[in-house]
Amino acid sequence: MERAKPTPTDLILIGAGAVMLVGSFLDFSGDTNAWGTGWLPIVTLIPIYGLLMAVPVALSKLAGVKLPDLVFGFTWAQINAVLAVFAVLMSAGWLVNSDDAGPGLWLMLIGSAGALYGSLAPLIGSSEAQA
């Protein structure tokens, strides 16, 4: 099975998903992380979105798994863009409304912003995405 070479934006999506996952285990607000009591499932959606973006890219580009071109009529780039927008909006919303933002929240926001860039670059025709 031949693997496609990952583009820089593919690597950005994988890295952003990893950053969001790591951030979810750090203090989100106060002394609890995104998986802690009271935050599940609202805050945990952010790292789940990151995983839903990163895992298919890693499977197809790094492991050589053949994934369908369309999922329910949408391309993977479209799905990633929607998930990234949700992740950024949720992270930013939590940051604005948090009195005690921890490093986990900041990492999830940074990862979400990276995922947004990595997901939108192929859709807007960035020259880096064509590499």
- Residue 4 inside a domain? The answer is no
Examine residue 41 and say whether the peptide bond preceding it is cis (omega within 30 degrees of 0): yes
Q: Tell whether the model's pLDDT for residue 128 goes beyond 60.
A: no
The pLDDT, as a whole number, for residue 124 is 84
pTM of the model: 0.87
Q: Is the dihedral of CA 88, 94, 95, 97 positive or negative?
A: positive
| Residue 61 in domain | yes
CB 90 within 8 A of CB 66: no
CB 22 within 8 A of CB 107: yes
> What is the Cα–Cα distance from 62 to 78, expressed in whole angstroms?
20
| pLDDT given at position 70 | 95
> What DSSP character marks residue 84?
H
According to DSSP, the residues that pair with 32 across neighbouring strands are 29
| Parent domain of 32 | 13-124
Does the residue 74 lie in any domain? yes
pLDDT digits (tens, 9 = 90+) for 83-92: 999 999 999 9
Does position 126 have pLDDT exceeding 60, yes or no?
no
The total domain count for the chain is: 1
Which tokens in the block code for residue 73? Answer: 């009529």
pLDDT digits (tens, 9 = 90+) for 28-68: 888 889 998 777 788 999 999 999 999 999 999 988 899 99
pLDDT at 54: 96
pLDDT of residue 8 exceeding 70, the answer is: yes
In a domain, 78, yes or no: yes
pLDDT at residue 2 in the model: 63
Task: Please check whether residue 56 lies inside any domain of the structure.
Answer: yes
Alpha carbon distance 100, 105 (integer Å): 10
115 near 84, Cβ under 8 Å?
yes
